[in-house]
């Protein structure tokens, strides 16, 4: 008998998929035939809305609450996704946070811890759980991992959030190393590096209209849409990018 667990679905787990880039990725993934595990932390209603939209369009999705800055919640998240859908084929490490713009000397150790736990440790620890499900060494059939980094890893974000930029720089280094580590296990690891995308994150950074302020300095003269980042993520997760691993797609309007 075919149940949800034993049909060979492509299942994609997206961390932080209740809003912004993660939500857009969830909607596009469902359109491309993935069963979608929509992770969220605080925003249950927004996650439910993403799931409802997918279901209304004939897709299959479920919301899973977990704070991915906490290892025990990550472990439980992957177990819950296993129990619901079984076959994890793609992981998108998208959840991320930003704090108020600040010079480095005003950044506290506690803030550094929050930023690195949410942006960096979460990515490492989610990859760890994904490898245990995807690698042939553990009985898996391979898969794809896409990390959502930021162009901040290249610019360093002076006077704004060097902590955030460094947390993404670590993700970039990990993407390169892990891609090589997993290359002969049929697991590809890539990343997107967005910038200036219209989402709530700029309010968290203390400047909701940041994109409007700087858009004339962006070669394409506009901010980007979450759906434009989702397209790059889905390409890296798909068979269409089968000869690419350890690479970055910058989605930055040319900056």
Other residues' Cβ atoms within 10 Å of the Cβ of residue 181: 15
Residue written as token pair 């968290």: 204
Least Å from the CB of residue 43 to ligand NAP: 3
Which of 138, 161, 164, 243 does the annotation list as catalytic?
164
Binding to ligand NAP in span 34-53, by CB under 6 A: 39-43, 46
Whether the CA torsion 242, 243, 248, 250 is positive or negative: it is: negative
Least Å from the CB of residue 3 to ligand NAP: 28
Q: Check residue 21 for interaction with ligand NAP (CB under 6 A).
A: yes
Least Å from the CB of residue 194 to ligand NAP: 4
Distance, in Å, from the CA atom of 64 to the CA atom of 67, rounded to the nearest integer, reads 10
The correct pick among 146, 196, 205, 245 for binding ligand NAP (CB under 6 A) is 196
State whether residue 10 is helix, strand or coil: strand
Q: Check residue 18 for interaction with ligand NAP (CB under 6 A).
A: yes
Question: How big is the chain, counted in residues?
Answer: 255
What is the x/- site pattern for ligand NAP, positions 144-183, by CB under 6 A? ----x-x---------------------------------
What number of chain residues touch ligand NAP (CB under 6 A)?
30
Distance, in Å, from the CA atom of 8 to the CA atom of 255, rounded to the nearest integer, reads 40
Distance, in Å, from the CA atom of 75 to the CA atom of 79, rounded to the nearest integer, reads 6
The correct pick among 15, 89, 90, 175 for binding ligand NAP (CB under 6 A) is 15
DSSP 224: B
The correct pick among 201, 230, 237, 249 for binding ligand NAP (CB under 6 A) is 201
Distance, in Å, from the CA atom of 47 to the CA atom of 77, rounded to the nearest integer, reads 15
For the question of residue 40 being annotated catalytic, the response is: no
Q: Which two tokens stand for residue 5?
A: 């667990």
Crossing angle for the helix pair 20-31 and 44-56, to the nearest 10 degrees:
20
Least Å from the CB of residue 28 to ligand NAP: 14
For the chain, helix, strand, coil in percent to 5 are 50, 15, 35
Least Å from the CB of residue 155 to ligand NAP: 11
Cβ nearer to ligand NAP, comparing 133 with 154 = 154
Catalytic residue annotation:
164
Please report, as ranges, the residues that interact with ligand NAP according to CB under 6 A.
15-16, 18-22, 39-43, 46, 67-69, 94-97, 118, 148, 150, 194-197, 199-201
């Amino acid at each position: 008998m075919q149940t949800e667990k034993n049909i060979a679905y492509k299942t994609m787990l997206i961390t932080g998929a209740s809003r912004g880039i993660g939500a857009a990725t969830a909607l596009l993934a469902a359109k491309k035939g993935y069963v979608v595990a929509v992770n969220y932390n605080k925003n249950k209603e927004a996650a439910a809305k993403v799931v409802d939209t997918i279901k209304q369009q004939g897709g299959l999705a479920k919301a899973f609450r977990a704070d991915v800055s906490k290892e025990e919640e990550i472990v439980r998240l992957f177990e819950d996704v296993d129990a619901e859908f079984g076959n994890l084929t793609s992981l998108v490490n998208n959840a991320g946070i930003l704090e108020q713009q600040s010079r480095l000397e005003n950044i506290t150790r506690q803030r550094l811890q929050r930023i690195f736990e949410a942006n960096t440790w979460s990515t490492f620890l989610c990859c760890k759980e994904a490898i245990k499900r995807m690698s042939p060494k553990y009985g898996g059939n391979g898969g794809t991992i896409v990390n959502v980094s930021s162009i901040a890893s290249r610019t360093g974000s002076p006077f704004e959030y060097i902590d955030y930029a460094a947390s993404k720089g670590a993700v970039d280094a990990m993407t390169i190393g892990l891609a090589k580590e997993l290359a002969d296990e049929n697991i590809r690891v890539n990343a997107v590096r967005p910038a200036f995308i219209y989402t709530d994150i700029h309010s968290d950074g203390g400047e909701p209209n940041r994109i409007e302020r700087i858009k004339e300095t962006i070669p394409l003269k506009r901010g980007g849409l979450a759906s434009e980042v989702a397209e790059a993520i889905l390409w890296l997760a798909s068979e269409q990018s089968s000869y690419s691993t350890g690479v970055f797609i910058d989605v930055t309007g040319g900056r």
